[in-house]
Structure 1
């Protein structure tokens, strides 16, 4: 079989979800070695904390977003998305950018910047072209956010190459909050849709435009204040307002049958995790550590939702019956739920063994994604059992 025709290169979710899963394991293994066991890694001159933050956002999360959008855009527009060698090229840019910090100085940091920004530009062009061709203006916010994440990553690299940590930090936080804004926007489309069709009985969930728009708009306001203005109190109050708005939104998506369906309860809980993160962010003005809010956003909200989403997308898009998901799902999702208790729950009250809690949360993350790769990895490199092309 020619490389261009390999099942892995038939649609964007295959290489990017596989890459994200592998990188979720390897990058956190590296981070565990550095943070818990004191392994001395130079990361080609990148401070280890900035490397970890950057790679969880522009490495792992960006790959998930790429795989999702390269697949969903085909369904939205009815136009064939990139596949074969063009898809391989885009994926290769993402991979090569991840490898530069481990080159031992053989590859300069400007090369990492060029590869990473070319990947993001290629992703933008790949999804913008079909969307604009069919004039789907309702996808404009998605395109805007993807472009803003490219700019945010460029800010990070500008700080890295000029040795300005403040710019690096701003680029990292901006990317995180923009990706979460995209997730909040897309959640209104996909979570109720998946619940209504997957719960196993007729149900009409509530969708309120008067809540949906403020949910996204308030978060974008929070992103702007948190990233560009030195107004921590205003950022906390914006976070507090979003707790109320998003809690109302989430109640409209509830139906009791989700607890029998792992692919549904993980999505519901992940959105609840964003609400918890916003609450913790609000409580920062009362002394709660901002890093607990940060990891409630990242480990819980982004981590749970992306793992749940890709588990559902892979199973459905490779021709499997979505009503009969893998029996290992509760263990896969459960590992990250337990990990979140170690990363956010316990440190909220007990910090004398902080490094231990971090190490245990890392181990749970690695376990969850290793199980995911064991179950889903083979599906991504094989043809659909029904012989159809991915759609």
Structure 2
């Protein structure tokens, strides 16, 4: 990340819209806690949604392109100003983006009474706007090396549009579903490979530990290249020896990366340990998905290990840390947030181990919901109130 000094002009609007992570992390946490119980009600037939997707597609779409999109937006609108040295999006533009995200969720659920094409346009507009805004900021800031972030954002947006088109035309959503997974998983590998060793190194240095994580090197670049190729092959052809062998190779490379980051040394820092555990869930999920390509494991188990354990666990841990750091709180998880993370990891395990029972499905949903409810209760107040160490400008709206 660039260390440009960002201009600090007085902001007089609502605190919630003063930085990108605030509204989108709050929306992500609340939506994650709400959407899964709603999915159970839909799955059991208690509730019917009038949107364009069948119940399973709705659940998958909203986790991949609803929840995850909010987290990615919050991360990007907080990171891009650090890259470019320009003022962050805030105030009315940020509020309008949040409204656009909410409109997408309501449209997909059928709450706006729109047809399939208007639903697609409404839902797709959010990711297209995100890509356009960060592209403009990066170009305006002449931060050319980070322009490559537009590649995964564009692919992610295209996968979302393809998901809608697959449902609309009857072609199916399986390929765009895997494409959405693949883009998010690649972002986890890319961003995780930067922040996990960096945060670990900082903590170990403060503890005066001599042995540090291995710095980012050519090996990381090679492992990411192999991962991109493996994920692309899986998107196109999820079954077969070629996909299976490639995914297992990706698993091995990611486990080697993880072993170089000294995770065992941060066991006394739950906030750091969460990142390492979520990355381990990524490797395990990739391994199960690779075995599923050979017919030796359930593809659904792989999806849920990756979706709940890797994506859910990593995004939850990143939101916790970013919210603490950017609102002036100590970087200490505490019992409540540590429990929230463990509940989400527990949801992944239960969903995989008791997948064939309604009781297991209910328990996994309850654990996930409780984890994100705890996150929202603990972190939510930080996101809507002023920085803990900073006074509000004189005359600011209260």
| TM-score between both structures, scaled by the size of structure 2 | 0.90
Q: How does 1:79-228 map to 2 (within 5 A)?
A: 79-103=86-110, 106-165=113-172, 168-199=173-204, 200-203=206-209, 204-228=212-236
**Are 1:244 and 2:252 an aligned pair?**
yes
Q: How does 1:177-326 map to 2 (within 5 A)?
A: 177-199=182-204, 200-203=206-209, 204-229=212-237, 232-284=240-292, 285-322=294-331, 324-326=332-334
Measure, in 1, the Cα distance between the counterparts of 2:262 and 2:87.
35
Measure, in 2, the Cα distance between the counterparts of 1:68 and 1:208.
21
Sort the Cα spacing of 1:354 and 1:141 in 2 relative to 1 into closer, same or farther, 3 A: farther
Measure, in 2, the Cα distance between the counterparts of 1:57 and 1:113.
15
Superposition deviation, residue 340 in structure 1? 1.9
Where does structure 1 lack aligned partners over 5 or more consecutive residues? Answer: none
Structure 2 counterpart SS, 1:129:
helix
Superposition deviation, residue 227 in structure 1? 1.8
Does the CA contact (< 8 Å) of 1:4 and 1:85 recur in 2? no
Where does structure 2 lack aligned partners over 5 or more consecutive residues? Answer: 1-10, 393-398
Superposition deviation, residue 333 in structure 1? 1.1
Sort the Cα spacing of 1:4 and 1:221 in 2 relative to 1 into closer, same or farther, 3 A: farther
**Are 1:364 and 2:371 an aligned pair?**
no
Measure, in 2, the Cα distance between the counterparts of 1:215 and 1:145.
17
Sort the Cα spacing of 1:105 and 1:22 in 2 relative to 1 into closer, same or farther, 3 A: closer
Does the CA contact (< 8 Å) of 2:159 and 2:177 recur in 1? yes
Superposition deviation, residue 229 in structure 1? 4.0
Mean alpha-carbon deviation: is it higher for 232-241 or for 6-15? 232-241
Superposition deviation, residue 219 in structure 1? 1.9
Superposition deviation, residue 103 in structure 1? 3.6
Greater percentage in helix: 1
Per-residue Cα deviation, 1:190-243 (whole angstroms, up to 9, x for no partner): 111111223441352102423211222122112221222465321111111012
Does the CA contact (< 8 Å) of 1:271 and 1:305 recur in 2? yes
| TM-score between both structures, scaled by the size of structure 1 | 0.91
